Structure formats: C-alpha cells, structure tokens
Amino acid sequence: MMLGNVLALVMTLTTALQDGPYAPMKKIEIRVTQWQTRQALIYLPEDMKPGERYPLLMAFHGKSIAGTDPAKIFREGVAKQIKLGKKIEAVSKADGKLYKFIVVAPLEEGWSTPPQNVNAMLSDIIRRYPVDTTRIYLTGYSAGGWSVESAKTHDRELSARIAACVTMSPASLDPPYEKRFKLVADNNIHTWYFVGTQDDYFRENIRRNMDSTARYGKGLTKLTLYPGAHCCWSSFYTPKYRENGMNIYEWLIQYKKTYAIKPRTK
C-alpha cells in the first residue's frame, strides 16, 4: 500500500515537472528586435493537427501585471481563463467549424506592450507556430487596452494584419495615434469595447476611439457598458458570457482577412 502511494506521488510530481509552473501555458521568449526579446506565455491547442493553421489571439496585460514574473499574467484576462481550465475556442457562425485559438500573452517590464513590439512579435510567432494569418486578433484591458488601440493605429503594415479586437477599459492614446483611425476603417478592423458605467476617464477614451472610427467607417465598433468602475474584466473574458448569443471568442472568429500576411524576413 505504501509503495503504491509512493509511486502515485512520484507520478504526480513528474507530471507537474513536465507541465511546468505555467501549465497549461508555457513560457517562451519572443523576439522584438535583433538584440531584444520579451517573456511571454503561450497556449497551444491540444491535439494540433499537422498542416492545420490556427487563429492567433494576442492578449495584453494591465499595468499592475508589468514586471519580470510571467506567473502574474494569470491574474486577469484570457490567461486567467486558460488557467481556470476554460477552452479558448469558438464555432464560427459562417462555416460551422470549431476554431481553437493559439493564445500569446506577452510580458512587459513597464506599462504594457508598445505597438512597435506588437508587429515584431507577430512576425516571430508566425515564423515559429502554425498561425492562420487571416485570423489574427488582439485583446487587452486597461494599459493592455492601450496596446490594442495603439496597434490598430500604428501603421499600415500592422493594421493590415489585424482582423478584429476586444478592448476593455483602455488607457488614452498618444495624440498622434488619435489621428490615425482611418487605418482602422481602411483595414476593416472590428472592435468590441467594454467599460464600466462609473469608469468615467476610460469611458471617455472609448467614446473618442469609437467616434474617430465612425468618422471613416460605419459599423466597425460595438460597446458593452456594465455597472462598475475600473474592474470586472473576468466577467467578460469567460467563455460563459454572451451577448446576442455570442461570447467574445465567437464574436472575434466572425472576422478574417481576405488574404494571408507573410512574416517579414528581417
């Protein structure tokens, strides 16, 4: 009996070591320049099939997560849902197919991911993993929402890669970016915004971004106002939350680019 207990304990410890401290995600380094990398957590769907490509969801953290400890990423956002055992997948209303997301959650030492890093990270991830480049999505909350909105309005190359976004309570954009929402319309980037009714500063940020988008293209934005202040994002990142019959992952998968984007070679 004792031997059986010992063997069971050994097997449990072995499994834990194999999975690592970030399971079911794993820690990687993503290149942002020739000389620099950033830590990130990545989730790869179970039972990935050779030759098949998967939608990519880049998930950006808030300011309180910034630092050097990737485990903090699990405190909020998509990574938290994965840690809780939720499946980040969606059935497309268009073709009835089940899509399982590759999820990448980068870690910055300060604030959140700047847009110039987003482009470099996408190129590195596309080179290393089987990404469907017609289905690249961004999401983030607070400072991470700033990352999403900055990426959408950074430059034409980056905007052309993004199919759709979910932005929650974003920090305000730098003034030059506020003038570039034509990029969003030109590249048909749909965004679902979330913000609390008591989150006045962040609600105003969203109003400006939605108005700036509407100036160049109609029907590209959707807004959910919820009771509360600068909080509560887990309520909407969970796949259980639905509006009009869709959670955020099902909503994202509706949108895709009409052509694949190849990674930069340099």
Question: Domain of 128: which CATH number?
Answer: 3.40.50.1820
Q: Is residue 261 part of a domain?
A: no
pLDDT at site 8: 39
Is there a domain that residue 175 lies in? yes
Residues 174-196 have a mean pLDDT of: 97
Res. 15 pLDDT band, cuts 50 70 90: very low
Average of per-residue pLDDT across 219-225: 98
Pick from 158, 161, 189: nearest CA to 55: 161
Answer yes or no: is pLDDT of 3 > 50: no
Task: Give the pLDDT band of residue 258 (cuts 50, 70, 90).
Answer: confident
Q: What is the pLDDT of residues 71-117, one digit of tens each?
A: 999 999 999 999 999 999 999 998 999 999 999 999 999 999 999 99
Of 194 and 263, the structure prediction assigns the larger pLDDT to 194
Q: Which residue has the tokens 């955020």?
A: 248
Q: What is the pTM of this model?
A: 0.91
Is the residue at 10 inside a domain? no
Residue 86 lies in a domain: yes
Do residues 104 and 121 lie in contact, with contact meaning Cβ atoms separated by under 8 Å?
A: yes
Does 2 fall in a domain? no
CB 128 within 8 A of CB 84: no
* pLDDT value, residue 262: 61
Inter-residue contact 138 to 158 (CB < 8 Å) = no
Q: Are 69 and 23 in contact (CB under 8 A)?
A: no
Q: How many domains does the chain have?
A: 1
pLDDT over 70 percentage in the chain: 90
The predicted pLDDT at position 1 comes to: 40
Q: Is 49 exposed, middle or buried (0-12, 13-18, 19+ CB in 10 A)?
A: exposed
**Does a structural domain hold residue 45?**
yes
CA distances in angstroms from 122 to 98, 108, 136, 158, 261, listed in the order given: 23, 15, 9, 9, 10
Q: For the chain, what is the mean pLDDT?
A: 92
Q: Is the pLDDT of residue 210 over 80?
A: yes
- pLDDT at position 252 over 70: yes
Domain that holds residue 115: 23-253
Q: Is the pLDDT confidence value at 188 over 70? A: yes
- Dist. CA 233–CA 168, nearest whole Å: 7
Mean pLDDT of 125-147: 98
Task: Examine residue 265 and state whether it is found in any structural domain, yes or no.
Answer: no
Per-residue pLDDT reduced to its tens digit, 137-169: 999 999 999 999 999 999 999 999 999 999 999
What mean pLDDT is predicted for residues 218-239?
97
- Asked if pLDDT for residue 132 goes beyond 80, the answer is yes
